Amino acid sequence: MINNISSVLIWSEDYKKLADWYIEKLGLHVLEEVKHKKDTGIGFQVGNVYLWIGQHSKVKGKNKDMHRHMFNFVVDSVSKSYEELKLRGVKFLAKPFKAPTFDKYFATFYDLDNNLVQLIGNK
């Protein structure tokens, strides 16, 4: 029945500011920007996943329940990416660590709205 995940949606009170953070800190490139009264945001293509950062009338302020969900960005080296992102001012919750059940490493950081995001890859 379900074949794939087509996109990850991040809603924000200030989608433009949050999208600019993803551009500046993570180096993402804008695929499209939509400005419609019922659908406003910026789309990014990250590998085969579409990442949408959009305006939502029900979202106010920063995320107050940041541990409810997170998503991973695949990188070649978690340690190298961690060091580069620290230099760019990204705030980390967890330094690089080995997954307890398989042979990958993670590092967890906050985006501008306090959403949790992880890096996953080799050491």
Q: How many CB atoms lie within 10 A of CB 115?
A: 20
pLDDT digits (tens, 9 = 90+) for 65-82: 988 999 999 999 999 999
pLDDT > 90? residue 10: yes
pTM of structure = 0.92
**Strand 92-98's sheet: what is its strand order?**
70-77, 116-122, 105-110, 92-98
| Percent of the chain at pLDDT exceeding 90 | 90
Give me the residue spans of the domains in the chain.
1-60, 62-123
Q: Calculate the dihedral angle through the C-alpha atoms of 39, 20, 31, 117, rounding to the nearest 10 degrees.
A: -90
Predicted confidence at residue 37, as pLDDT, reads 83
- Which of 36 and 18 is assigned the larger pLDDT? 18
User: How many residues can be counted in the chain?
Assistant: 123
CATH number for region 62-123: 3.10.180.10
Architecture of domain 1-60: Roll (3.10)
Same fold for the domain at 1-60 and the one at 62-123?
A: yes
Predicted confidence at residue 38, as pLDDT, reads 83
Report residue 113: phi and psi, to 5°: -95, 10
pLDDT digits (tens, 9 = 90+) for 28-57: 999 999 999 888 999 999 999 999 999 998
Predicted confidence at residue 3, as pLDDT, reads 87
Give the Å distances, CA to CA, from 71 to 57, 80, 104, 118. 23, 19, 15, 6
Cβ density class 38-54: b for 16+ within 10 Å, e for less: eeebbbbebeeebbbbb
Beta strands at 49-55 and 92-98: parallel, antiparallel or unpaired: unpaired
**CA–CA distance, 12 with 43 (Å, rounded to integer):** 13
Task: Report residue 5's pLDDT band, with 50, 70 and 90 as the boundaries.
Answer: confident
pLDDT digits (tens, 9 = 90+) for 93-122: 999 999 999 999 999 999 999 999 999 999
